Structure formats: C-alpha cells, structure tokens
C-alpha cells in the first residue's frame, strides 16, 4: 500500500459519518473517499459532493459498494444491527473494515466479525476513538509502566443528567440493541479494559432502568423525546469481576437525576497509586508518608500561543487506522478486545432481564445459566 492513496468507501452517511469519519479522512493526504452508500440516496449524494474524490460513486445498496474492485477500505457507519452483516460481507469481499462502535448488538454477531477478519486476513477495527485522547494515552503509559501497581478496582463512567439522542433510531431497542449502555457505556468500558489490559471477565451482574423515559415534554438538549418511541433503557449499571480479581463498576445513562456526570471516563484504583478523569486527569498516591494528587499538563505546556483544546481523537483514530493499512501493522483497537466489550454489555442486559448473574466460561464463552 505504500506510495498510493488508500481508497475508502463509506456505508451509512449519517451523523457519525458527517461528525467524525468523513471530516477526519478528508484531512489525510493519503486517503481518497471514492464511494458512498446510504439507504437515503440524497445523503450518499451529499457525502460524495462534500468529501468524495472526482468521480466518486453513489449507492443505496452496500453490496454494490463492496463489490468495487478498486476499493481498499470500508467504513461501516450504520445502525448497530447492520454492523455485523455488512462488516462480514466487506471482509469477505477483500476489504479492510473500520466499524463504528458498538461492535455488534450481541456477542454472536461480534464473533462472526472476528472470525471473518481472521479467516480473510483483512484488518478490522472498531471506532473507539477515546483511546486516542491525550489523557488516555498518558494514563495508558502509566499503567503499562506499572506506576499504579495492581489495578484491582475501577469505574467506567458514561453518565448524562439529560442527553437523550432524539434523532435517527437511537431510541429503537431492536435496531440499536439497547440505549445508553450500548451507546455511550461501551466507550467507558472499552477505555477501562484497554487501560488495565484486562479482557478475562468471569461474572457480570447488571440492572437497567426505564424511569424517566415516559415523561412528556422533558427537558433535553436535543428537544423532548417521544415516550412511545423511547423503547430502550434510560440508565444501566453493571458489576463485572475478572479472573485476576479486578472489579469494574459500569455506570451509564441518558437521563438520570444526578450532578455527577461525564462520558468516556474511568477511575482506576491500584496498589501503588490511583487515577481518574473526573476533573481532568488526576493521579493520586502516597509518598514520604504524605498523600499527593497531581494533574499532568495535557494542554498548553506553558506556551501562550499553543492551545490543544482542539485536540481531535477522531482525527488521530483515522490517522492510526490508515497507517496500519499502509504499513501492514495491527490496529490499536483489536477485534477480540472489542468482542469482550460486547460480551460484557450483552451480559449486563441479560442479567438485568433475569435478575441473576451471568458467568463466563473460558472454553465455552458466556454461560448465561446460573
């Protein structure tokens, strides 16, 4: 791939395509977006007009797009229930695939994606861009260097006081697979597992709530939701235990009466030190018989004209993804890591339905019987 531009096709030209993927890819000199597909043709045409290379093709059926011979990569940016079938088909067609989070609506479909990537030898990654934030990268280096010691307790936080997405099909449980847990909770969980390098859950207990969704004319930054269309949970919580003894509590909500809010954040508690993202990145510990708290400088570094507030994790994600294709290296977000995230999310939903824990067996995958 070195020396030539990577040709990308976009499947699903909606909010995440316009908000993250296409603007980021457009900033890369080694990329051409040559094909656009959406069930609403006008969206695909608009994407091609704004971001497409000369002669970019427009489709309404993804099978026509992935059949293109002169195409290297497919970005799957559709509703969640379409992630697995389109990704598998694209991999089988010989394309590398970037699939937006969550990986799939259940672990069976996620594993089909993993197996297709391994069978075809094509690269597959999932859109967990929060790994590329400066604070995340710094904390990952700390964790990998052992600065926190053994991390035995963590919180994965994706909590909105009010932040219900009222466009598209976000509120449709069947198409999306769930609500805030699978939408934003997935980012917090992925970040926490990646930072701790821990992908061996042994048990999950979960609860979901739908307590505020029936409110008419509710306060919401994106306008009031329609209770009849709001078929998902409005908050969900999980308690996850791992084979090394680590415990992770996952909190997620679109609507919750709380003032402790934040998305894609983690709290890590280790034997040597701790860290959290509750007020910027903070490191805490004990030194010379005194407790300390430090906040590493993530921006500015004292240079008056430098402002890193415009840091764009989506752009960094796109750069790293395309570089992995050109240089034939492994993407930062690996399919089997994303699969475990999907397993845990599914287990939280299953536990919430039954009121019982879900246990994982290393040889058989997830055993949903108690």
- Give the contacts of 277 (CB within 8 A, at least 6 positions apart): 135, 139, 262, 265, 266, 267
Average pLDDT over residues 223-241: 97
Instruction: Give the Cα separation of 293 and 48 in Å (integer).
Output: 49
pLDDT tens column, 331-366: 999 999 999 999 999 999 999 999 999 999 753 444
- State the CATH class of domain 6-127: alpha beta
Model pTM? 0.94
Q: For residue 298, name the pLDDT band (cuts at 50, 70, 90).
A: confident
pLDDT digits (tens, 9 = 90+) for 158-203: 999 999 999 999 999 999 999 999 999 999 999 999 999 999 999 9
Q: Please state, in angstroms and rounded to a whole number, the distance separating the CA atoms of residues 281 and 278.
A: 7
Q: How would residue 299 be classed by pLDDT, with cut points 50, 70 and 90?
A: low
Please state, in angstroms and as integers, the Cα–Cα distance from residue 40 to each residue in 44, 46, 58, 61, following that order. 7, 10, 11, 10
Domains 6-127 and 131-298+341-361 share a fold: no
How far, CA to CA in Å, does 352 sit from each of 122, 281, 360?
A: 36, 32, 16
Please give the pLDDT value at position 311. 78
pLDDT above 70 coverage of the chain, percent: 94
pLDDT of residue 364: 43
Q: What tokens does 110 get?
A: 């996620």
Looking from the CA of 294 toward its CB, the CA atoms found within 13 Å total 10
Question: Could you tell me whether strands 201-209 and 151-159 are parallel, antiparallel, or unpaired per DSSP bridges?
Answer: unpaired
Q: Give the tens place of pLDDT for each residue, 45-62.
A: 999 999 999 999 999 999
Which sequence spans correspond to the domains of the chain?
6-127, 131-298+341-361
Which is nearest to 208 in space by CA: 236, 184, 180?
236
Q: Which residue has the higher pLDDT, 237 or 366?
A: 237
Give residue 19's pLDDT.
96
DSSP secondary structure, 155-218, as one string: EEEEE-SB----STTTT-HHHHSSSHIIIIIHHHHHHHHHHHT---EEEEEEEEE-SSTT-TT-
- DSSP-assigned states of every residue in 264-319: EEEEEEESSEEEE-BTBSEEEEEETTEEEEE----S-TT-TT--GGG--HHHHHHH
**Percent of the chain's residues with pLDDT above 90:** 92
**Residue 151 structure tokens:** 């991390």
Q: Is the peptide bond before 211 cis (omega within 30 degrees of 0)?
A: no
Integer Cα distance of 292 and 43 in angstroms: 52
Nearest alpha carbon to residue 148 among 267, 46, 43, 30:
267
Alpha-carbon distances, residue 311 vs 58, 294, 315, 359 (angstroms): 32, 22, 9, 40
DSSP, collapsed to helix, strand or coil, labels residue 226 as coil
Place of tokens 């679109």: 254
Please work out, in degrees rounded to the nearest 5, the angle formed at the alpha carbon of residue 249 by the alpha carbons of 317 and 365: 75
Residue 367 pLDDT more than 90? no
Residue 306: predicted pLDDT: 44
- Chain segment 83-123, per-residue pLDDT in tens: 999 999 999 999 999 999 999 999 999 999 999 999 999 99
What is the structure's pLDDT at 63? 98
Topology of domain 131-298+341-361 in CATH is: Dihydrodipicolinate Reductase; domain 2 (3.30.360)
At 361 the pLDDT is 79
pLDDT for the residue 370:
34
Q: How many helices and strands (H and E) does the chain possess? A: 12, 16
């Amino acid at each position: 791939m070195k020396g030539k531009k990577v040709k990308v096709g976009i499947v699903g030209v909606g909010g995440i395509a316009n908000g993250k993927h296409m603007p980021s890819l457009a900033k890369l000199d080694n990329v051409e977006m040559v094909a656009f597909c959406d069930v609403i043709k006008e969206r695909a045409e608009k994407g091609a007009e704004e971001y497409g290379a000369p002669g970019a093709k427009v489709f309404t059926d993804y099978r026509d797009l992935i059949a293109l011979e002169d195409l290297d990569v497919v970005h799957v940016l559709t509703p969640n229930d379409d992630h697995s079938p389109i990704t598998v088909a694209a991999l089988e067609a010989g394309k590398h695939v970037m699939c937006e989070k969550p990986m799939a609506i259940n672990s069976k479909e996620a594993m089909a994606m993993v197996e297709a990537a391994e069978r075809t030898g094509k690269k597959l990654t999932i859109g967990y861009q929060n790994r590329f934030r400066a604070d995340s990268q710094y904390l990952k280096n700390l964790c990998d260097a052992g600065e926190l010691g053994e991390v035995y307790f963590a919180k994965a936080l994706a909590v909105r006081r009010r932040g219900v997405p009222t466009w598209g099909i976000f509120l449709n449980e069947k198409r999306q697979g769930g609500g805030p847990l699978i939408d934003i909770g997935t980012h917090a969980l992925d970040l926490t597992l990646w930072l701790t390098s821990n992908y061996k859950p042994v048990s999950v207990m979960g609860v979901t709530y739908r307590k505020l969704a029936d409110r008419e004319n509710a306060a919401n930054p994106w306008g009031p939701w329609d209770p009849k269309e709001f078929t998902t949970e409005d908050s969900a919580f999980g308690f996850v235990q791992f084979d090394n003894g680590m415990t992770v509590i996952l909190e997620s909500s679109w609507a919750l009466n709380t003032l402790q809010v934040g998305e894609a954040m983690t709290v890590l508690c280790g034997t040597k030190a701790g860290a959290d993202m509750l007020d910027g990145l903070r490191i805490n510990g004990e030194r010379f018989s005194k407790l300390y708290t430090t906040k590493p400088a993530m921006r500015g570094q004292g240079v008056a004209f430098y402002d890193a507030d415009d840091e764009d994790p989506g752009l960094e994600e796109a750069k790293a993804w395309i570089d992995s294709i050109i240089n034939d290296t492994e993407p930062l977000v690996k399919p089997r890591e994303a699969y475990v995230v999907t397993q845990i999310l599914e287990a939280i939903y299953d536990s919430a339905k039954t009121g019982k824990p879900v246990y994982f067996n290393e040889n058989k995958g997830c055993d949903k019987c108690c």
